[in-house]
Amino acid sequence: MLDYFILAVHSITARKMRTLLTMIGIFIGVAAVVSLISIGQGLQDAVTEQFENMGVDKIMVMAKGSFLGIGDKIFEDEDAEVIRKTRGVKRAGGMLYKSLQVSTRDETKYTFVTGIPQDETKEIINSMSSFTITHGRDLKKGDRYKAVVGSWVHQGKFFDRKVDIGDSIQVEGKKFEVIGVISEIGNPQDDSQLLISLDVARDVLEEPDKLDIIIAQVNPEENVEIVAERMSKDLRKSRGYDEGDEDFTVQTSAQLMESFGSIFAIISAVLIGIAVISLLVGGVGIMNTMYTSVLERTPEIGIMKAIGARNEDVFKIFLIESGILGLGGGIIGVILGVGISKLVEIGIHATGVTFISAYFSWYLIVGALSFSFIVGVLSGILPAMQASKLITVDALRYE
Amino acid sequence: MIGDFFILALKNLRRRKLRSWLTVLGIFIGITAVVTLISLSQGMRDSINEQFEKIGKSRIMIVPGGAFFGPMSSSASVDTLSEREAELVNKIHGIELASGIISDTGVIEYKDELESFSVWGMHTDSERTKYYKSIGLLDIGKGREFKASDNHKAIIGHKIAYETYEEDIHVGNKITINGIDFNVIGIQNEIGTGMHDSLIRIPIESARELFEKPNNIDVIIAKVADGENIDDVIDEIEKVLRKYRDVDEGEEDFSVQSSAQTIEQLNGILAMVQGVLVGIAAISLLVGGIGIMNTMYTSVLERRKEIGIIKSVGARNSYVSLLFLIESGMLGTVGGIIGLLLGYGFSKVAQLAASMFDVSLVPSFGFSLILGALLFSFLIGAMSGLLPARQAAKLQPVDALRKKR
């Protein structure tokens, strides 16, 4: 068996240029696939992690067609009350977000301001968030014009000037005292936000009882999906909509995660599908090289057969040769692919989005290597069959 | 002379049929992928641009708050605009007419069914009605236009009338908006953009009452006079409004968008998606090109003797190199032709598949796409043949004749 390998390696190294070109064909495709998968996987992991922080016992109620509640403000306190009273709900609370004008002494910018309730429903909102307070303190009941700021605001990455605890900051012309800073979340939007208490947010927006999104936590012994069903029914009734016509959506955190997952799956399938085409082309290249190799070595094959090599021996030699071409291309491709996605990762981090990192699972690497080996072997089957079926006398006589 | 070269190259390619076909296969797979992707995404862009053509390019929208997309974003900001500002904009040189609109979401009830839609409160004097018509906002299919004296009357979009409620809404029917009765006096023709077809228009006085917005307006819509430069007019509007609202440049609490800008933004996003997809598909073309190079190197190696003979009977280096270049160029071009045909087939199949899901996706085959694909595949072939051809040309006749392989 080892002899076959030595023979194959020998004939591969005998034609360096052709081998190199054939391998380039494979490794370009493998590098594209590996880097696309690892970046896509990293993106998906980052999003999944954010959802996992929410916990599986949460249900979100948002305006239909909105993204996480950003859009029309359709809910009011009484909707939150309906949700709270739904059987199986432990507690529920709502939030308000809006992009508002925020200014320091010498700068004015727009950023998202989130109104968070400070009564007993605060806990549910906090249990969903992945951040902690790094400086100062959190908002508490009774706080009026106080604000907790994102880490970029604190570090001076949002405004030119750093904003510290005790500084004042204006939201739509109203003065707020900065009392705390939250830990870095890893994307520019969240790290530039301001958290204020819900009552104050409503004063500033002049919307006395509106809510963007209502979050409910389900009692531990209840089935989340069933409670969600019940909740949409109650809410439909109180808002006066028929089934299918409602202006809101009720989603459990598992459903939310699933819908994100399937979007990712579609996008990566399309991208990888297109990238795999180049692997296919690379495979055709291997086939071509192997046919050429068979042609060139026809007299050699004749000699091997004349001194007693069986058909399957000849077949094996050529198959191993094409497998090595594929695998060699795969190894270089994996190394290149890892390099490319590391470069992309550095690029992404440079824009301030630090929660996304390329992810290399061992089965991606093993998968890429075995796939390229298989491409090599498959492309070699026809040429190897041709070689093994050569008639000895004809082969010896050839040219 | 050059004809002989082509005949010679063709003969050589046909002598090694299998290898030539495999090489061509490598190219046409890539060209097929690229052609399919470009024609489909180009078709998508064309249809978006066509929708915007209907709306008109000279339309400018001014919305309060930071720069977001379209008038729907007015609900995402607390800032408002006033009638006074609409008048200021109206006076700017280069503006044909500017008018304020109240935009909000209303719950519309018809025969006990509730749905929510965007509601626009608009001025109803004849001058402005004519103007709205000119920018494609009013296109009454049934019923009549607003009159200045109208109150609690509504003109509804095509989709609301015929595709939303169990029973179609007709002119003369009564609907309620947020609980207040309105008479439907007109139904718009289908425009084809979701936003316009599901819009309800009511007189601005009714809207002020309905949404409790006594003074402010949500959007200013303006039309640039013919022959004026839209960008200059936008600059002027920004200057006037900055002064009125007392904000510095770069800190505007309003944004001015023209439909041309919106098209540009959308086109920019689509171009990026197209670029990524085509870029990935082009990788396979690169691989195919390397396949050509490989085939040509092999071919040079095999034909050393032949090259030696050609040279010893008087062929110049440039002839030998040209011979091989034509051969590799042919490989590329044939791959391109087959790829183009296959790509055309694939995008027609995609169109058919999309139509089964009621999605209209018409691939666009521009002259430039066809010519570009052919030229590109020829170039790939010729370029991949460059190095092998040079190697062939530089062979010494004596060495070439002597060496067996």
Position with higher pLDDT, A69 vs B88? B88
**Residue A260, token pair as written in the block:** 């994100």
Q: List the single residue in B22, B105, B247 with the smallest CB-CB distance to A287.
A: B22
Position with higher pLDDT, A54 vs A294? A294
pTM of the predicted structure, to 2 decimals: 0.72
Domain residue ranges of chain B, discontinuous segments joined by +: 2-52+264-402, 59-225
The answer to whether B26 contacts A29, with C-beta atoms less than 8 Å apart, is no
pLDDT for the residue numbered B71: 38
How many Cα neighbours within 13 Å face the side chain of A65?
A: 10
φ, ψ dihedrals at A76, nearest 5°: -130, 175
**A219: number of Cβ within 10 Å:** 13
The answer to whether B294 contacts A18, with C-beta atoms less than 8 Å apart, is yes
Region B181-207: mean pLDDT is: 82
pLDDT for the residue numbered B340: 93
> Quick one: pLDDT band at residue A380, thresholds 50, 70, 90?
very high
Cβ atoms of residues B289 and B387 within 8 Å: no
The answer to whether A245 contacts B298, with C-beta atoms less than 8 Å apart, is no
b/e for B313-345, b at 16 or more Cβ within 10 A?
eebeeeebbbbbbbbbbbbbbbbbbbbbebbbe
Average pLDDT, chain B: 82
3-state secondary structure of B338: helix
pLDDT for the residue numbered A335: 94
Region B155-177: mean pLDDT is: 85
What percentage of residues in chain B have a pLDDT greater than 90? 7
What is the spatial distance between Cα A354 and Cα B304, in angstroms, rounded to a whole number? 58
| B79 alpha carbon, distance to own chain's centre | 32
Least confident of A179-183, A230-234, A300-304, B47-51: B47-51
CB-based contact (8 Å) between A112 and chain B?
no
Cβ atoms of residues A285 and B292 within 8 Å: no
Chain A contacts of B25, Cβ < 8 Å? 281, 284
Q: List the single residue in B65, B251, B288 with the smallest CB-CB distance to A99.
A: B65
Whether A369 has a pLDDT exceeding 90, the answer reads yes
Whether B276 has a pLDDT exceeding 70, the answer reads yes
**A52: number of Cβ within 10 Å:** 12
For the ranges A141-155, A180-194, B170-184, B332-346, the maximum mean pLDDT occurs at B332-346
Through-space distance between the first and last CA atoms of chain A, rounded to whole angstroms: 31
pLDDT for the residue numbered B219: 85
Chain A contacts of B253, Cβ < 8 Å? 101
ipTM exceeding cut-off 0.85 for this assembly: no
Q: How distant is the Cα of A140 from the closest Cα of chain B, in angstroms?
A: 26
pLDDT for the residue numbered B75: 43
Domain residue ranges of chain A, discontinuous segments joined by +: 2-50+258-397, 65-246
